[in-house]
Structure 1
Amino acid sequence: MSIHVVDIATGRVAQGLEVSIGRPDGAPVLHGRIDERGLLPGLETLGEQFGSGVYDVRLQVAAFYRAAGAALPATPFLDELIYRFGIGDARQHYHLPFKLTAWGVSCFRGGA
């Protein structure tokens, strides 16, 4: 499992973006910030914790852009973005490459 986030508004990785991964029932798996490579550190060491099942990735989009100085409305278009995905075969690598702005997001399953 890996997560990579690029801020396509600036063309740079979204370093500092707060991200958490957990189960839909609220059970946490990992919480951290995107590093200078654009990756969520710590995922590579979790291995077995990502069995088959459903997970939520939570990205703190509005907080990230406000911290960068972006002028967002009081009610931002994207605040906490929740991306729910499923792992069908835990033996495969699941890569989630997020392309992000304050106004939109794109993600797909990479690493197949």
Structure 2
Amino acid sequence: MVGKLTTHVLDTAQGYPARQMKVELWLLGSDGERQLLKTIHTNKDGRTDTPLLADEELKTGIYELIFSVGDYFAKHIDNLPQPAFLNRVPLQFGIADPNSHYHVPLLVSPWSYSTYRGS
């Protein structure tokens, strides 16, 4: 089995995929060092066109996805209070088995979010 990391963002306030949301992928070192691996934008389906990491790129470790939800909602919803309640949503998670599929979806509104390990 080939391991991969994917994500999907759903705009629950408006009921559709979050298009063109900026997402950063970081690798977190045990020494506290952070390494930016990728910056991407979601497509029209709220997904990325390719996996964030796949095959030998996916390694055991602690990762963080940072979703730029404040910028996204500022473009899609009028009259939101400033500063935004949510700006950058960080999700830290561990990869224990680099041969597995890790799917990290984000369901988000301007005021709340949730995530889970998807399939």
Say which SS state the counterpart of residue 65 (structure 1) adopts.
helix
* 1:63 Cα offset (Å): 0.5
Q: Structure 2 vs 1, CA of residues 38 and 52 (structure 1 numbering), >3 Å: closer, same or farther?
A: same
Q: Relative contact order (alpha carbons < 8 A, sep ≥ 6): 1 or 2 greater?
A: 2
**1:21-57 superposed Cα distances (whole Å, 9 cap, x missing partner):** 0113331222111101221233266432221100010
Of 26, 49, 57, which aligns to 1:49?
57
Q: What's the TM-score, normalizing by structure 1? A: 0.90
Question: Which structure 2 residue ranges, 5 or more long, are not aligned?
Answer: none
- Bigger radius of gyration: 2
Distance 1:106 1:90 in 2: 24
Distance 1:31 1:42 in 2: 13
Q: Structure 2 vs 1, CA of residues 56 and 45 (structure 1 numbering), >3 Å: closer, same or farther?
A: closer
* 1:72 Cα offset (Å): 2.4
- Are the counterparts in 1 of residues 6 and 53 from structure 2 also a CA contact under 8 Å? no
Identical counterparts, % of pairs = 25
Q: What's the TM-score, normalizing by structure 2? A: 0.85
Say which SS state the counterpart of residue 29 (structure 1) adopts.
strand
Query: In the alignment, is residue 3 of structure 1 matched against residue 7 of structure 2?
Result: yes
Runs (4 or more) in structure 1 with deviation over 4 Å come to none
Aligned length: 111
* 1:95 Cα offset (Å): 0.5
The aligned runs of 1:59-78 (5 Å cut-off) are 59-78=67-86
Distance 2:35 2:52 in 1: 19
Matched residue type, 2:82: A
Of 90, 99, 105, which aligns to 2:107?
99
User: What root-mean-square deviation, in Å, do the aligned CA atoms of Structure 1 and Structure 2 show?
Assistant: 1.5
Distance 1:42 1:26 in 2: 23
Question: Which structure 1 residue ranges, 5 or more long, are not aligned?
Answer: none
